[in-house]
Each structure stands twice: as C-alpha cells, then as structure tokens.
Structure 1
Amino acid sequence: MRGILRRSFLAACAAVLFCGAAVAQDYPSRPVKIIVPFPAGGSNDIITRIVAQKLAERCGQTFIVENRGGAGGNIGAETVASAEADGYTLLLTAPPPLTINGSLYKTLPFDPARAFAPVALIASVPIILVVNPSVPAKNVGELIALAKAKPGSLNFGSSGIGSTNHLAGELLKSTAGIDIVHVPYRGAAPAMNDLLAGQIPFMFDNIPAVLPQVQGKAINAIAVAGAKRADALPDVPTVAETVPGFEASSWFGLVAPGKTPAPALAKLRSELEVILKMPDVKKRLAELGAEPGTVFGEAFGQFLAEETTKWGKIIQASGATVD
C-alpha cells in the first residue's frame, strides 16, 4: 500500500513539473492583455506601450494595452486582481493601487498585498520640487524657513489626494516639521497652471511634466525628491541634502494576478531583464525623464512592501482619506 501511495505521489510531482515546464516553454501561446489603470496619453500609458511592443517582438505574441482608469487606479487593478491567474492579464501601474490606496481608501475590492504577484519594477521617475519665481526661496532650506516663519500660510498643489506628488508634500511636512496646506487638483495640468499663475507657491511633480517649464524659466526647480540627483537636472540638489532621510519617487511596476504560475512569471521577468537593458528602450525612457528598473520578482515584492509601509505612515499622519 505504501509503495502504491509513494508511486502516486511521485507521479503527481512529475506531472506538476511537466506542466510547469510546458508553461515555461509555451508561454505566451496567445495574446496577452496589459491593463493600464489610468487614462491614455500619460506617462503610465506611454511606458506600457514601449514595454508591450518589445515583449511582443521577443515573445512572438501580441501584447494588448487596455486603459481602464478611475478611482485612483482601483478599477483597472480590480480587473486584474479578479482575472484568471494564467499570465494573460497583467497590470502595469504607477504606485497608487499597489502601495497607496490600501491606506487611503476606507475599503478596496482587492487586497494589494495578496492579490498580485510581483513581476518587475519597469521604470522610476524623479519627482521635482518646483516653486513660482515670486517665492523668496531659492533652495529647500529657505522654503522650510519661510514655512516656519508663516505656519499654515504656504499652500502646495498636487494632481489629487493620494498621488505621489501629494504624499511627497506630506512627507516634507512631517520630516521638516513645517505646517503647509495641501490643495488637491483634478490632475497635474490644472495644478501646474495655478503654479505658473502664482495661485499656489510650490508643488512636487514628475520631471517630464516640469522640465519644459523649468528650462523656460517659468518656474524654479529647487530640489529633487528622490535619493539621487536627476540626470536631466544635475545641478539641482536633492531634498535629502537638506532634510536627511527624505526620499520620494514615482515609478511604474508590472504585476500579475496572485496565483499566476511561476514559470509564466519567470518568463516575463527574464524577458524584461533583457528589454530594460536595450539601448533604444533606455533612450526612450530617458526622453520621458525615466530610468529603467532593475528590481525583479521577490525583490520587487519587498520594494512594494516597503513603499506600502512608508506611505501608510504618511497617510495616517496627514489624515487623508477617500470614501
């Protein structure tokens, strides 16, 4: 009896291994859909289409990009979370649905920590602290001094509650110990218009959005929110050079439904490791102010966990919430 059970067990293991090998060899055998949980035309959409084209060329299958915006990225994320976990429906997204919305929204239709399998950090985009030229602050230290001299009088804009640009401002508020007031807009464009008009004194925004205005001297870039200086603005210091430990950046990551077979995930990761090192891909990302990702699989999962913890604390401290 024990011999029969042992043979059955070994046969089952062999079947699993065979199926895994088959998935690795055959995947993808039909078109793959990549959901972008934000509208077409933005950085998330553009970067996804760059990656989708390269994956299609290398894998010999169509990678379809589908935009499903709304609810801070939650609608598109829910679509992927509830999809069949076979590797044929993926999510390529900015931070909110994976690391921010779980702390910001009172309820979510999915659990960000359990619903997805991490594939890769695709790209990171520096966030820049910019001020209207009329503001008497030429660096972070002077901006902090101005805020401390007039508590509650300085407003900062953002593309909306829970955006990385909003949370970068909240992070500055907490780490520098200043009282500044958040003014949310419905998108980065109207916030930038008010910054240019002097209706708000400063804001954080992604480098692709601010670079033309900085180069045209319509606004002043006084700091980079990330851990290092931006290649596009090498003379602009980081916030951390004045406020040690400060770090905020935007990024785009690829995930799959949580129970997607390991061989399919491995195939995607291996292809992306090659794609993100391609000179033409690096050049195109650089034109968007982005840097290719270098974090894959479990390391990307750890990155997501750390980002979730960091922003969760900032959101709790700010009191921000969305019904």
Structure 2
Amino acid sequence: MRRLLLAAIAAAAIAAPAAAQEAPRDTRPIRWLVGLPAGSGPDMLTRLLAERLSPLLGRAIVVENRPGAAGNLAAAALARAAPDGATLGTLLAATVAINRHLYRDLGFDPARDFTPISHFASFPGVLLVHPSVPAETLAGFADWVRALPQPPLCGTGGAGVVPHLAAAWLMREIGARCEFVHYRGSPEAQRDLIAGRVLVLVDGIPTARATLAGGLARGIAVTSLQPIAQAPGLPPVAATYPGFEALSWIAVGAPAGLPEPLAARIEAAVAEAMADSDLPARFRAIGAEPAASGRAALAARIAAEDARWGALVREVGITLE
C-alpha cells in the first residue's frame, strides 16, 4: 500500500507541470466594434459573419456600434484594446487607407495599431446621374461635364469616403471638375439626387440599387474592374480608364500584438465561414461581393491603397480637419 501511494504521488508530480502549461481556452464573449450605425451595409455584413464565427471560435460575439468621425472612433477604441482576442473590429477601407491623409489627429496609427486578419467583403460603387443629364455612357458623361460653363454639383455620402475619392479620381481622368456636396450618409445624398438638387453621385451598390430599380436615376458605370451582377448592363469605368478601381471594402482586424496562434485561428475561421455557400449568397443579397483574403493579402491591400489614395488626396487637394 505504501509503495502504491508513493507511486501515485510521483505520477501526480510529473503530470502537474504539463497540466499547468495547458491554459484553459478563453470563453469570454468577443466584443466586435463597428464604426458605422446599426443597419448600415458593413454592420449587417459584420453581424452575418459574426453569427457564423461564433460556433467556430467557441465564443459568443457581441457587435457594438460606435459610429462617428468617419469610423475613427471605433478604430481608436480597437487600437486601445488588449490584444488578447476578446476584441475584434470591422476595419473600413477609409479608416486604414484614407483617413490618415485627411485628418490631422486620428487617435491611432493605421500602420502600427492593428493586426489585419482578413478582408471579407467589398462594395462596388456606381456612377449615377439625375435623369435630366443628357448622357447614357461614360463618354457622353465626360463630354457633358467638360461642356458645362460651371462644374456640376456632385453629392457624396460623406467627405473622404471611398465614393467621394472615386468621383474626384474620375473627374481627374475626364479632365473636369465638380462641386462636391457632402451629406451625412448615402440615403441623404440619394434623396437630393432624386430631387435634382445634385446631378451626379458615386454611391455604393446597397443604397444605389433601389434608385436604379425605380428609374429615379440613371446608372452610367461601376467602379469595380469587372461588371457586377447587382448592376446589370453597366460597364466598369476601367473599360475606359484602365486600372480604375474604387471599392469600399471591409475587413476583420484586431489590436496590434495579437498572438500568432490567435490570429491564425481567427483567419482560418473566417475562411471556413466564407466557404459556406449560404453566407456569400446573403452578402450578395445586400449588395456586397464576398471575400476571404487572409492576413498577408489584406496587409498588402492596405499598403497599396494607402499609397494610391494618399497620392490622389495630395494631387486633388482634398483637406479635412
């Protein structure tokens, strides 16, 4: 009996260090920050993805909307969070690739303060005109703009967002100007386009589709490199101006310093969720193109778009406080 007791004690002593090294899996709910209001396209897509990721990660996910300052408020909160996997964020293209060229103080450094994990959706844009505009094609639109005695009023869903910069880029390619009118979101811009208070608007597919379907505005071209099913019959701007691509994309991100195993696990879970045929179909129903790029591709996209949009902002002279 004494020998058996000593053997049990020795076995327990050997097993104890190994057990101590195996940390229990984190079961805390994940807080997922979104820098746009509830019901916006990125918010709806984030919630759909979070619903699929929750069982894959074995943790509840709570989406928290922190709109304001072109997504900068939510991004700053994400940058300040602990890199322990308990906080994720929806990275907006504007937040990580544009805003630092427009704002003096973001409260975070896009290149330093985040762990990019995976791009998961893009919103192509559409060039829309009021029905009174005598143009059916991009060439006709360019001729019309250049012939005007004064620049036309062009609406945007917000200063510095991708559709605003896409319109500025297009005008540069055409060799013309427009007078921008910035609204507090796409719905307001759409209302004024329909009313004829602005004549031109580049907007994302989710809010543009209803206007197009109702014949309330005319579509001229899309800002993706290829035609898209959500805007049938509209050619890409790139068919006339090669290389023109302006997408409002969203991605999964975490605070900088997220441990490699955690980052790899979340990246793999996003890829698995997006491989489900039902989820991409639900994304497209909202007007978004699904994707699952992974960390390396997302980091490369951010770097490339930061350089491209930064050069455009400086060339066109767009400035915000």
User: What TM-score does the superposition give when structure 2 sets the normalisation length?
Assistant: 0.90
Q: What is aligned with 1:260? A: 258
Q: Give the whole-Å Cα distance in 2 for the aligned partners of 1:141 and 1:246.
A: 15
Does residue 158 of structure 2 align to residue 147 of structure 1?
no
- Paired residue type of 2:169: L
Q: What is aligned with 2:209? A: 211
User: 1:193-212 deviations in whole A, cap 9, x for unaligned?
Assistant: 11001111111111110111
User: 1:163-214 deviations in whole A, cap 9, x for unaligned?
Assistant: 1111110110222221222111121111111100111111111111011111
User: 1:18-59 deviations in whole A, cap 9, x for unaligned?
Assistant: 9xx968x93x53211110011111011101100111111222
Q: State which of 106, 122, 133 in structure 2 corresponds to 1:135.
A: 133
User: 1:258-294 deviations in whole A, cap 9, x for unaligned?
Assistant: 1010110000000110111211101110101111113
Q: State which of 173, 193, 203 in structure 2 corresponds to 1:195.
A: 193
User: 1:79-103 deviations in whole A, cap 9, x for unaligned?
Assistant: 0101111111111132121111110
User: 1:130-180 deviations in whole A, cap 9, x for unaligned?
Assistant: 111110011111111111112642121101110111111011022222122
Q: 1:152 to 1:94 in 2, by over 3 A?
A: farther
User: Tell me, which stretches of 5 or more residues in structure 1 are unaligned?
Assistant: 1-17
Aligned-residue offset at 1:248: 0.6
Q: Give the whole-Å Cα distance in 2 for the aligned partners of 1:121 and 1:246.
A: 20
Aligned-residue offset at 1:217: 1.0
Q: Which structure 2 residues correspond to residues 1-323 of structure 1 after superposition, within 5 A? A: 26=25, 28-150=26-148, 152-323=150-321
SS at match of 2:258: coil
RMSD: 1.6
Q: Give the whole-Å Cα distance in 2 for the aligned partners of 1:233 and 1:309.
A: 29
Q: What is aligned with 1:4? A: none
Q: Give the whole-Å Cα distance in 2 for the aligned partners of 1:61 and 1:107.
A: 35
Contact 2:57/2:266 (8 A) holds in 1:
no
Paired residue total: 302
User: Percent of aligned pairs with the same residue?
Assistant: 35
Runs (4+) off by over 6 Å = none
Q: Give the whole-Å Cα distance in 1 for the aligned partners of 2:243 and 2:179.
A: 22
Contact 1:106/1:321 (8 A) holds in 2:
no
SS at match of 1:87: coil
Aligned-residue offset at 1:233: 2.1
Q: Give the whole-Å Cα distance in 2 for the aligned partners of 1:53 and 1:202.
A: 37
- Paired residue type of 2:287: G
Q: 1:151 to 1:257 in 2, by over 3 A?
A: farther
- Paired residue type of 1:75: L
User: What TM-score does the superposition give when structure 1 sets the normalisation length?
Assistant: 0.90
User: 1:204-240 deviations in whole A, cap 9, x for unaligned?
Assistant: 1111101111111111111001111111223110111
